Amino acid sequence: MADSFDLGEPPQPAAQAPSASSPYRVLARKYRPQTFSELIGQDAMVTTLGNAIRRDRLAHAFLMTGVRGVGKTSTARLIAKALNCIGPDGTGGPTIDPCGVCEPCRAIAEGRHIDVIEMDAASHTGVDDVREIIDAARYAAVSARYKIYIVDEVHMLSKNAFNALLKTLEEPPAHVKFLFATTEVNKVPITVLSRCQRFDLRRISAEQLAAHFAFVCREEGVEAEAEALTLIARAAEGSARDGLSILDQGIAHAGLEGGGVTAAAVRQMLGLSDRGAVRDLLGLVLAGDAAAALASLRRQYDYGVDPQSVLRAMLETVHGITLAKVGTAEDPAQPVEERNARAEWAAKLSFPALHRLWQLFLKGHDEVAKAALPIEAAEMALLRAIHASTLPDPGELAKAIASGELTAPQPQGAAAAPAPLAAPAAVERQGAPADFAGLVTLLEDKGHHAVAAQLSNGARVVRYEAPELILSGSRPMSADTLRDVADALKTATGKAWKIALEDAPGAPTLREQAKAEEEATRQAILDTPLVKAAFAAFPGAELESWPGKRSIA
């Protein structure tokens, strides 16, 4: 059960060591919050609940949602205590600061109060389980002010169970309160959400978790390095329970080693890469030293570090450098060496270079996660990043290509350099253009667009000697088309033209020549070493534009 209570176990003072006959209680249970002041990272929710209790504006149903270990079910139990507390003298009312010593407070904390019923929806999913709640809700509380139902992981109830609960949830008896907890609020029907007051419990920040873990270590009489607690806090990903479980393991490891909880031991325990080793590895990548970088990665792998965690650490470092470059505040939890290294790299690296490194390491991280050979995939990802670190910025490369500054070798041979689509028309006053391309351009200029298009797209020229035009019969034209061409040419040039078809292959059409020229130019650019290197560094990239590109359908 996701945030289950300590059923049947009385709380022990935090600093009290368990006796020889008492079973050991893990830190995640021992340091479960007993008051709202001990609930870390949820100040907004505590303020809202406090105001509601003081003003007697309590909802009949509450829904707590959030990731694992942020205190959803603990909050539900605290609300139950707050609503049923009677104070040390037995005359108190609902309060945001339950006394913890009255019989209702102690019974709820120990999980034995008859009027506070906790149900795990993961194992009670059916409509019959909900029907028991509905039937029992009609009866008044036995000894408490309110009868409270706590349903953990409520999203796992069946559709029929939710439907059966709706009416009671909307208009419950005055003495009943429902407290729901879930990690997947998107699976709770909207009809249920609309009947509840919802609290979204936030992830607990790494700084708050590290401070809490330091407090726990002091209470347990254990020495712990600040960096070790920071590593545990980050590994917990906002979950107090996860972090305390890791800390418990770290303390056990320290006990075997005869010392405190050290950062090195935590890294080894979690399979994390040493920050100094990560900095050294990134420096080798940026320096383009492939052999040394691969040796550094293999060293960490031999120490038992997961290759994916190495790339994750590289991603975190690149992200930190980028934040330093934009001028965000320094993270006080970071060691001085780490902050100095990031500031130095931020001054040297451009934003495009950082973004490129991020994309390369992110792609490598995903590849390693799916690879059959993780370490080999990690090595290939590093080599790709090393190769890309020596390349110019893609934006500058694109500008150079678009502006024509990047000159490509031109293809050799007459066949590789066909006549342009729009060659200058050398037109005399009453003469004709010197070539067929000029003739088509002249027709365009004179307004004969349809005829010009027909000749450009479909005419294969066998012989052009003005005023004679012999076309290939492989692209036959109707008599009407030939007549239209002759009329247009006479109008444009002032001369009568002889237009005929001949059984010969003829030259490629002007459109085919233009496409061939465009493709030759494109391939020449792709064959340049610089562009080849760019495509090798950025798989999936495409050449969108280049000098001489035409928009030809």
The answer to whether the predicted template modeling score (pTM) of the entire model surpasses 0.75 is: no
Looking at residues 39-58, what average pLDDT do you find? Answer: 87
pLDDT, residue 418, reads 42
Short-list 468, 503, 473, 465, CA closest to 486: 468
pLDDT in tens, 155-165: 999 999 999 99
On the question of pLDDT at 96 being above 80, the answer is: yes
In our burial notation (b when 16+ CB lie closer than 10 A, e otherwise), range 346-360 reads beebeeebbebbbeb
Residues ≥6 apart with Cβ < 8 Å to 425:
433, 438, 439, 441, 442, 445
Question: Which residue ranges form the domains of the chain, and what is each CATH number?
Answer: 27-200 (3.40.50.300), 206-270 (1.10.8.60), 276-390 (1.20.272.10), 436-507 (3.30.300)
Spatial distance between the Cα atoms of 35 and 176, rounded to a whole number of angstroms: 22
Q: Which of 4-13, 314-323, 426-435 has the highest mean pLDDT?
A: 314-323
| Cis previous bond, 392, omega within 30 | no
Measured in degrees and rounded to the nearest 5, phi and psi for residue 439 equal: -65, -45
Per-residue confidence band for 425, with pLDDT thresholds at 50, 70 and 90: very low
Q: Classify residue 59 as exposed, middle or buried by CB count within 10 Å of its CB (0-12, 13-18, 19+).
A: middle
Which amino acid type is present at position 281?
L
pLDDT, residue 149, reads 93
pLDDT, residue 176, reads 92
85: three-class secondary structure by DSSP: coil
pLDDT, residue 327, reads 86
pLDDT, residue 269, reads 80
170: three-class secondary structure by DSSP: helix
Short-list 342, 345, 356, CA closest to 397: 356
On the question of pLDDT at 330 being above 80, the answer is: no
- The larger pLDDT score, comparing residue 210 to residue 12, is at 210
pLDDT, residue 11, reads 43
Q: Which of 104-108, 252-256, 471-475 has the highest mean pLDDT?
A: 104-108
Task: Quote the distance between the C-alpha of residue 360 and its chain's center.
Answer: 14
Which amino acid type is present at position 504?
A
On the question of pLDDT at 430 being above 60, the answer is: no
String of DSSP letters for 188-230: S-HHHHTTSEEEEPPPPPHHHHHHHHHHHHHHHT--B-HHHHH
Looking at residues 204-214, what average pLDDT do you find? Answer: 88
Q: At what angle do helices 436-445 and 449-458 cross, to 10 degrees?
A: 160
Per-residue confidence band for 251, with pLDDT thresholds at 50, 70 and 90: confident
Measured in degrees and rounded to the nearest 5, phi and psi for residue 383 equal: -60, -35
Work out whether strand 147-152 and strand 176-182 pair parallel, antiparallel, or are unpaired: parallel
Which residue reads 């409509």 in tokens? 127
pLDDT, residue 377, reads 93
Least confident of 72-76, 133-137, 158-162, 483-487: 483-487
Spatial distance between the Cα atoms of 126 and 161, rounded to a whole number of angstroms: 6
pLDDT, residue 4, reads 39
Least confident of 273-277, 384-388, 407-411, 438-442: 407-411
On the question of pLDDT at 90 being above 70, the answer is: yes
Looking at residues 473-495, what average pLDDT do you find? Answer: 81
Least confident of 285-289, 383-387, 418-422: 418-422
Query: Residue 56 has which token pair?
Result: 């007697």
pLDDT, residue 497, reads 86
Per-residue confidence band for 409, with pLDDT thresholds at 50, 70 and 90: very low
On the question of pLDDT at 274 being above 60, the answer is: yes
Least confident of 243-252, 397-406, 503-512: 397-406
Distances from the Cα of 383 to the Cαs of 280, 282, 371, 399, in angstroms?
15, 12, 16, 26
Looking at residues 332-346, what average pLDDT do you find? Answer: 80
Per-residue confidence band for 415, with pLDDT thresholds at 50, 70 and 90: very low
Which residue reads 């030939």 in tokens? 482
pLDDT, residue 505, reads 83
Short-list 402, 359, 361, 397, CA closest to 533: 397
Long-range Cβ contact pairs of 465-469 (< 8 A, separation 24 or more): 466/431, 466/432, 466/433, 466/439, 466/493, 466/495, 466/497, 467/432, 467/493, 467/495, 467/496, 467/497, 467/498, 468/497, 468/498, 469/436, 469/439, 469/497, 469/498, 469/499, 469/500
Looking at residues 74-81, what average pLDDT do you find? Answer: 90
Per-residue confidence band for 421, with pLDDT thresholds at 50, 70 and 90: very low
Looking at residues 503-529, what average pLDDT do you find? Answer: 83
pLDDT, residue 411, reads 45
Q: Which residues pair with 212 in a beta bridge?
A: none
Q: What is the overall mean pLDDT for the chain?
A: 81
Q: Classify residue 553 as exposed, middle or buried by CB count within 10 Å of its CB (0-12, 13-18, 19+).
A: exposed
pLDDT, residue 414, reads 39
Looking at residues 330-351, what average pLDDT do you find? Answer: 81
- Using alpha carbons only, how large is the chain's radius of gyration in Å? 39
Which amino acid type is present at position 191?
T
pLDDT in tens, 350-378: 888 888 899 999 999 999 999 999 999 99
Short-list 539, 547, 501, CA closest to 520: 547
Q: Taking phi first (over 0 means left), then psi (-120 to 50 degrees means alpha), and beta for anything else, what does residue 56 get?
A: left
Query: Residue 441 has which token pair?
Result: 């351009």
Q: Which of 59-73, 418-432, 520-534 has the highest mean pLDDT?
A: 59-73
Per-residue confidence band for 189, with pLDDT thresholds at 50, 70 and 90: very high
pLDDT in tens, 221-234: 888 888 888 888 88
- Quote the percentage of the chain above a pLDDT of 70: 83
Q: Give yes or no for a contact between 234 and 249, defined as CB atoms under 8 angstroms apart.
A: no
Which residue reads 């493709």 in tokens? 519
On the question of pLDDT at 517 being above 50, the answer is: yes
Per-residue confidence band for 406, with pLDDT thresholds at 50, 70 and 90: low
On the question of pLDDT at 386 being above 60, the answer is: yes
Per-residue confidence band for 288, with pLDDT thresholds at 50, 70 and 90: confident
pLDDT, residue 278, reads 86
Short-list 129, 109, 159, CA closest to 9: 109
Distances from the Cα of 192 to the Cαs of 61, 170, 177, in angstroms?
10, 9, 14
Q: Which residues pair with 498 in a beta bridge?
A: 468
Residues ≥6 apart with Cβ < 8 Å to 302:
none
Least confident of 118-122, 212-216, 389-393: 389-393
Q: How far apart are the first and last CA of the chain?
A: 63
Q: Classify residue 108 as exposed, middle or buried by CB count within 10 Å of its CB (0-12, 13-18, 19+).
A: buried
Q: Cα dihedral sign for 484, 487, 489, 491?
A: negative
Distances from the Cα of 115 to the Cαs of 7, 72, 138, 348, in angstroms?
14, 20, 13, 65
